[in-house]
A and B are shown apart, each in its own frame.
Chain A
Amino acid sequence: GENVEQHPSTLSVQEGDSAVIKCTYSDSASNYFPWYKQELGKRPQLIIDIRSNVGEKKDQRIAVTLNKTAKHFSLHITETQPEDSAVYFCAASMDALNFGKGTSLLVTP
């Protein structure tokens, strides 16, 4: 099946700085790449996604880039705020969503 690697496992930034989380996937047939945010004690929720026919997508302070050739994609959060603190998961989908191990992001005021 699909294997998704995610880095870093923890990330601490100061409020207002940018945060970048990177993922790689193994199966070139995967063509859907979502990012989920999970706050403490809550269910994961989609924040942004990208398909393999697109190289970049942006939604306000959040952007995702995809390099199909290298099989990696990244999440970029600009102007981080304390409420961005959460665990972020990337995923790649061929038959089902396979997730990375998550990145615990801490934004300090």
Chain B
Amino acid sequence: SQTIHQWPATLVQPVGSPLSLECTVEGTSNPNLYWYRQAAGRGLQLLFYSVGIGQISSEVPQNLSASRPQDRQFILSSKKLLLSDSGFYLCAWSVHRRTEAFFGQGTRLTVV
């Protein structure tokens, strides 16, 4: 069966520090991968999605970037965090772009 791992679960980082959140999927090949941010009152905001290694699409301009160095690994990064980057970050995967997405446990990021 397929599983998705996302870590860490919680993270407190100072303003201006770098960020790296990692997500891996097991039990499937060539998944579509997604990063979402959930802030209060804004629902699930799509940040990035990837249909293959090295292929990243960005949905909103921001202080974040994403990379997919391996088929089942998706990384969310920032060189310098802002206060506004605080939120709940969710990684997800799907078999195809128009099928059910399965979410990881999420990372609660607090920038102080």
Q: Is B44 an interface residue (CB 8 A)?
A: yes
Number of inter-chain CB pairs below 8 Å: 55
CA distance A91 to B105 in the complex (A): 19
Interface residues in B54-102 (C-beta closer than 8 Å to A) = 57, 59, 90, 92, 94, 97-101
Q: Are A31 and B98 in contact (CB under 8 A)?
A: yes
Q: Is B7 an interface residue (CB 8 A)?
A: no
Residues in B whose Cβ lies below 8 Å from that of A98: 46
Interface range on chain B (Cβ under 8 Å from partner): 20 to 34
CA distance A34 to B97 in the complex (A): 12
CA distance A6 to B99 in the complex (A): 20
Q: Are B59 and A1 in contact (CB under 8 A)?
A: yes
Of B41, B49, B100, which one neighbours A96 at CB under 8 angstroms? B49
Q: Are B97 and A100 in contact (CB under 8 A)?
A: no
Residues in A whose Cβ lies below 8 Å from that of B41: 9, 101
CA distance A9 to B46 in the complex (A): 19
A-B contact pairs, 6 of them (CB 8 A): A1-B46, A9-B41, A44-B90, A93-B97, A96-B46, A99-B46
B-to-A contact residues, CB < 8 Å: 32, 34, 36, 41-46, 49, 57, 59, 90, 92, 94, 97-101, 103-106
Known: A89-B44, A95-B49, A99-B44. 17 other contacts (CB 8 A): A1-B46, A34-B101, A43-B105, A44-B90, A44-B103, A46-B100, A46-B101, A89-B43, A91-B44, A93-B98, A96-B49, A96-B97, A97-B46, A97-B92, A97-B94, A99-B45, A101-B43
